[in-house]
Structure 1
Amino acid sequence: MKIVVIGGTGLIGSKLIRRFTAHGHDAVAAAPNTGVNTLTGEGLDEVLTGADVVVDVSNSPSFEAAAVMEFFTTSTTNVLAAEKKAGVGHHVALSIVGTERLPDNGYFAAKIAQEGLIEGSGVPYSLVHATQFFEFTLGIADAATTGNEVRIAPVKYQPMAGDDVADAVAKTAVGTPLNGRTEIAGPERTQMDDFIRDALALAGDPREVVADVHATYFGSELLDGSLVPEGDAHLGHIRYVDWVKGQAER
């Protein structure tokens, strides 16, 4: 089948392209650097011609609240309209576990708006809600650092490897539309401060992690269950310590 990946040159998108291609699908990466701009609509009609499935793993270039809302609502509206014209039978979008539990967060609010557009579009769809990716661990620590202290909320945390995310999204994409959501998470649940502390130790980073209930996560304070699945979730198999070893071997 022909599968178009919006954001197909990014972290998860490039992994999806490799997986779909390896399984014999016609996988096409749609991104500004391949001539497709979902904000303006440029190239959308052409790339979606003959497409069976569209997988949207694109991300906003800005995390500022108004900009991210504009990106996800405009981009998604344009993609869905082009899908209807092309007769696409399955729209898959990657979203975030806990979006509805942090409605004051500008990024999460934009993802909620995106999902609302998808749910009301009439195009058969599947939403894949993932926990945070291992790939952003050190960046999260950097954003929470003042001096030598890394202030992290002591809340439940269950991040996952990008490869596990791509496996789950790819499996969903070639299946029957859910017309609902599925949640995916890492194999191990811990506390966020403990996870970051262990991750820095693995990296030989001397910074001190301080548990702080008022520490913010992309601008929002967290409740204990803000970032983990509420019920059953499909779990990845890659542990963080093994992921780090794998990165070192590349």
Structure 2
Amino acid sequence: MKIAVIGGTGLIGSQVVKNLEAAGHEAVPHSLSTGVNLLTGEGVVEAVADADVVVNLTNSPTFDEASPAFFQTSMDNLVTASEKGGVGHMVILSIVGVDQVPELDYYRAKALQEDILKAGSIPYSIVRATQFMEFMEATMSWTTDGDTVRLPRTPLQPIAAADVARMVAEVASGPPLNGTVDIAGPDVFPLEEIGRITIAAKGDGRTVVVDDTAGMFAVAQGDVLIGGSDARIAPTHYRDWLS
């Protein structure tokens, strides 16, 4: 199959392309650097031409109130071009619990992206992933003050980017789900425990303290950021990934 990977040069996209090529597909990466701009529409029609599948892995440049406009415009342009081009399957990467945390602008924006895809005429698949292991250090940095890291006890189920890419490639090369699949790592931790595990592995001198009001994940209630009972579980454990 010919698969157009929009956002195909990023952390996930570049690995998705490699996985698809290894499976014998013609995977073509597209991004701003290759002349494809989902906001202006430049190069979009050409990018999806003759593609059997389109995978959209682009992301908003900000996580604030401007993010809904990004996903509205980018999805409108991509869906319109793909419908005209006769694309048979569109895949997007979203977030587990994205419709359960309306307090976060970015989560509302990703939920909007899902809704636009569902409303179109193209058969689709939505892959919702839990939080990336690669972003745990950045998450800690948001609430670090000197040698103290304040983190809430929000349960997370971190997944490695390599596992995300493999699972996205599998979905993209299969039949449309016309629905959503959760993918998640094998372990569930309170975020404050993830902080302690990370600091211990890095020999970091910081101290983690529990603060259930700290950071963006503090607004997530209960287990909304954990994969559902039918989630596909990735093999990589967080401690193994750290080592």
- Give the TM-score of the pair, scaled to structure 2: 0.97
Shift in Å at residue 127 of structure 1? 0.3
Shift in Å at residue 221 of structure 1? 1.8
CA deviation digits over 1:142-200, x for unaligned, max 9?
A: 11112221111112111100011011111111111111100010011121110111011
Residues 1:88 and 2:90 are matched in the alignment: no
Shift in Å at residue 64 of structure 1? 2.1
Q: Distance in 1 between matches of 2:229 and 2:148?
A: 33
Task: Select 2:234's aligned residue among 227, 236, 246.
Answer: 236
Shift in Å at residue 16 of structure 1? 0.5
- The answer for the alignment partner of 2:198 in structure 1 is 199
> Are 2:163 and 2:234, in contact at CA under 8 Å, matched by a contact in 1?
yes
- The answer for the alignment partner of 1:165 in structure 2 is 164
Equivalent position amino acid for 1:6 in 2: I
| 5+ residue gaps, structure 2 | none
Identity of aligned residues (%): 45
- Give the TM-score of the pair, scaled to structure 1: 0.94
Q: Distance in 1 between matches of 2:146 and 2:220?
A: 23
- The answer for the alignment partner of 1:224 in structure 2 is 222
Residues 1:49 and 2:40 are matched in the alignment: no
Equivalent position amino acid for 2:226 in 1: V
CA deviation digits over 1:3-38, x for unaligned, max 9?
A: 011110100000001111112211111100011001
Per mean C-alpha deviation after superposition, the further-off stretch among 160-169 and 226-235 is 226-235
- The answer for the alignment partner of 2:17 in structure 1 is 17
Shift in Å at residue 128 of structure 1? 0.4
> Are 1:216 and 1:222, in contact at CA under 8 Å, matched by a contact in 2?
no
Equivalent position amino acid for 1:161 in 2: A
Shift in Å at residue 95 of structure 1? 0.1
Shift in Å at residue 107 of structure 1? 0.1
Q: Distance in 1 between matches of 2:28 and 2:196?
A: 39
Shift in Å at residue 229 of structure 1? 2.0
Q: Distance in 2 between matches of 1:12 and 1:228?
A: 20
Q: Distance in 1 between matches of 2:63 and 2:92?
A: 18
**Count of aligned positions:** 243
Residues 1:103 and 2:105 are matched in the alignment: no
> Are 1:153 and 1:222, in contact at CA under 8 Å, matched by a contact in 2?
no
CA deviation digits over 1:198-250, x for unaligned, max 9?
A: 011101111111111212326x52212131123321000011222223xxxxx
SS in 1 for 2:45: helix
